[in-house]
Amino acid sequence: MSRARADEEEYWHSSKFRAFTFDDEDDELSQLKESKRAVNSLRDIVDDDDDDLERVSWSGEPVGSISWSIKETASSSSSSSLEGRDSSLQKGSSSYVAFPKQVSSYSLSSLFKGELCLSLSALSDTGVKNYAPELRRPKSEYKDYSSDWSPKDTVRRMQRGKACSLERFRSLQDKLVLLDEAVAGHDGNVITAVLIFLKRTLRREILFRELEVRQVALCHLIHFLKEMGEQKFLLDLLRFLDRTEEVALSQYREHLNIQDVEKRREFLKGCIGLPFSAEDTSHIQDHYTLLERQIIIEANDRHLETAGQSEIFRKYPRKASILNMPLVTTLFYSCFYHYTEAEGTFSSPTNLKKTFKIPDKQYVLTALAARAKLRAWDDVDALFTTKNWLGYTKKKAPIGFHRVVEILQRNNAPVQVLQEYVRLVEDVETRLNLATKYKCHDVVIETYRDLKDRIQLTAYKCKVERGSAEEEKINSILNNMVRN
């Protein structure tokens, strides 16, 4: 019996739970120790590394207890608690660990919802470590989203790249004042941003009516709609403004989005009846006619190239299709592959010149480039040869013979051909420069001879090859000058 009693006494004295005694009931120090042990027993749950540190507040309450949470919440809004904490801080008990002041977000109900462990985990990570300050925007930056900015201030902030909400401008009057301030600021980006806001928040007829008297903003919106490809909105705006020609041109631009050549041809045919100006109507008609002509030429040439029935297509295979090419490119193509064809054929260069009223300068320049590329020097010669009413032949170039020489030289024309056209350059200084540049020695010698410039002839003699025909020619001219 005595042994059982001894075991019972040993149990009560060795257990971590103490027996109930009246002496300990009001002992605050024992309650504090028990609270510390309770808090420390939770460290295994939150995986705290600082197991030896005690977590208590300056008030003496165990951290995380219900009473501590309630007091922390209450003290966040009370200035008296701050003074109390400051006084206790000055006393400085070594058994307490200091915590920086922060607003507690834990309530009584949160402690019963399983959030106590989270709060303790957050606290346990601090220990002797420094608290990281809460990262928040400066209060001044919250003014970026304030609804107190005037239209003028809003525009100024947008010009500086600040984020501003335009949603606060709800009335039509406020929106128009905002637009006027944006226009007065002369910043295209700000004007466009405000116009996008108005476009989204105003009915079209109201927006169009107000923009009609604000030409700067109107031009910005039209340009924006064109860049963004908002064709329907743009057409509605132009119709409201009664700009019929711009409506027609905007519709005409749609042909660029049509890839199928037959559909594009039909679309262009329909564009001829749109309300264009007289000059623009002529251009649309020419565009339709040119595409129709290109379709015919392309089909015929593809057949000839595939069948191998034409020598020029065998010798110079086509690099690209002629469809949708400009008029000048089509003329060059025709002069390259169909130069000798009769005027009655669609692919004839003279037919193209007549149909589309191509100026003589443009025709000669394009034909010269095409025939020189083929090294067809007889065709080049015939291009500039004319006859007068007496039957005399004469060479004439509407583009100037100096340009003829440059084109021939780019196409590696022989020196004999170059010299023939360099001689036809009327300006003496230009002729000498071209002759010297392209080593047309005969032209240089003849020009100095006509000028009777013995000094230049003597100097040029040093530039030609010794014992050459050019040197002998210079010596002969110099001897004749001495005799005369």
What tens digit of pLDDT does each residue of 128-155 get?
444 344 444 454 445 444 556 888 889 9
Check whether residue 255 and residue 354 sit in a common domain. yes
Residue 155 located in a structural domain: yes
- H or E element at residue 394: strand 393-395
Give pLDDT < 50 ranges for the chain: 17, 19-26, 28-29, 39, 42-61, 63-137, 139-141, 143-145
Check whether residue 344 and residue 292 sit in a common domain. yes
Residue 2 located in a structural domain: no
Give the model's pLDDT for residue 235: 87
Alpha carbon 351 to its chain's center: 43
Check whether residue 266 and residue 339 sit in a common domain. yes
Residue 256 located in a structural domain: yes
Check whether residue 222 and residue 255 sit in a common domain. no
Domain stops at, among 242, 268, 303 = 242
Give the model's pLDDT for residue 36: 52
Domain stops at, among 242, 273, 304 = 242
Check whether residue 276 and residue 234 sit in a common domain. no
* Burial per residue of 353-367, b for 16 or more beta-carbon CB atoms within 10 angstroms, e otherwise: beeeebeeeebbbbb
Give the model's pLDDT for residue 33: 53
Give the model's pLDDT for residue 2: 54
Residue 327 located in a structural domain: yes
Domain stops at, among 358, 380, 400 = 358
In angstroms, the CA 439 to CA 432 distance is: 10
Check whether residue 264 and residue 325 sit in a common domain. yes
Confirm if 234 and 218 have CB atoms less than 8 A apart.
no
Give the model's pLDDT for residue 257: 85
Give the model's pLDDT for residue 38: 52
Check whether residue 270 and residue 346 sit in a common domain. yes
Residue 267 located in a structural domain: yes
Check whether residue 286 and residue 342 sit in a common domain. yes
Question: Which tokens belong to 190?
Answer: 């700000």
Q: Which range of residues forms the domain containing residue 296?
A: 249-358
Alpha carbon 28 to its chain's center: 74
Say which residue the tokens 């090294």 belong to: 375
Say which residue the tokens 């004319």 belong to: 386
Give the model's pLDDT for residue 87: 46
Give the model's pLDDT for residue 338: 95
Give the total number of structural domains in the chain: 2
Check whether residue 235 and residue 272 sit in a common domain. no
Give the model's pLDDT for residue 127: 44
Question: Which tokens belong to 203?
Answer: 């009915």
Confirm if 351 and 343 have CB atoms less than 8 A apart.
yes
Residue 333 located in a structural domain: yes
Residue 259 located in a structural domain: yes
Q: How many CA atoms lie within 13 A of 140 on its CB side?
A: 1
DSSP 8-state assignment for residue 242: T
Residue 405 located in a structural domain: no
Give the model's pLDDT for residue 133: 44
Check whether residue 173 and residue 190 sit in a common domain. yes
Check whether residue 312 and residue 212 sit in a common domain. no
Check whether residue 286 and residue 303 sit in a common domain. yes
